[in-house]
Amino acid sequence: MKILTANNYEVFESGTVISFRDEPVTFELAADLKIRFVFRGDQDSPETSFNAINPNELEIIFSNFNNPLGAGNTEPIQLGTLNNKALYLSYRILALVGAQGKTIHYSWYLREGVNNG
C-alpha cells in the first residue's frame, strides 16, 4: 500500500512510540541512517534543535516538551534524503502525566522532485 498526502508527500512510516523515563528514542530509517529523539527540560518553552552526529546520524533535541496535551510541528520538516527522495518529519509529543516518559506520534514522509540545493 502507498499512502499519498497533499503535495505528493508519500508516507514512508507512521506510528506511535512511548519513551521510558525521557530516554532517547532512535529511529533506524535505513541501514546507514539513524535519527535520535533526545528530550531535555532546561528551558521555559518548547524548542527544537538539531545536532548532526555524522553524515548518517542526526539528533533532534526536544527541550521542554512537557505538555500533556502535546506539542509538535505544523509543517513537515525536511531533514535530508532517503532512497533518492527528500525526507520529511511531522511529530506530536505528549508528556505522560506523573511520569517522565513521552508519547511520540510520528510520520516520516518522502517526496520526489524536490530541489535540495
Q: Which of 29, 9, 14, 17 is nearest to 93 (CA)?
A: 17
- The answer to whether 31 touches 57, Cβ cutoff 8 Å, is no
The pTM of the full predicted model, rounded to 2 decimals, is 0.86
Which three-class secondary structure state does DSSP give residue 22? coil
Q: Which of 36, 6, 8 is nearest to 23 (CA)?
A: 36
Angle at 107 between CA 9 and CA 56, to 5 degrees: 90
**Better-scored residue on pLDDT, 2 or 72:** 72
For 5, 6, 42, the CA distances from 62, given in Å and listed in that order, are: 26, 27, 10
For residue 87, give the amino acid letter. L
Phi and psi at residue 41, in whole multiples of 5°?
-125, 50
pLDDT at 100 over 90: no
Q: What pLDDT sits at residue 107?
A: 95
Kindly report, residue by residue over 2-52, the tens digit of the pLDDT: 677 767 889 999 999 999 887 899 999 999 999 999 998 866 788 899 999
Q: Cα(26)–Cα(30) distance, rounded to whole angstroms?
A: 12
- The answer to whether 26 touches 18, Cβ cutoff 8 Å, is no
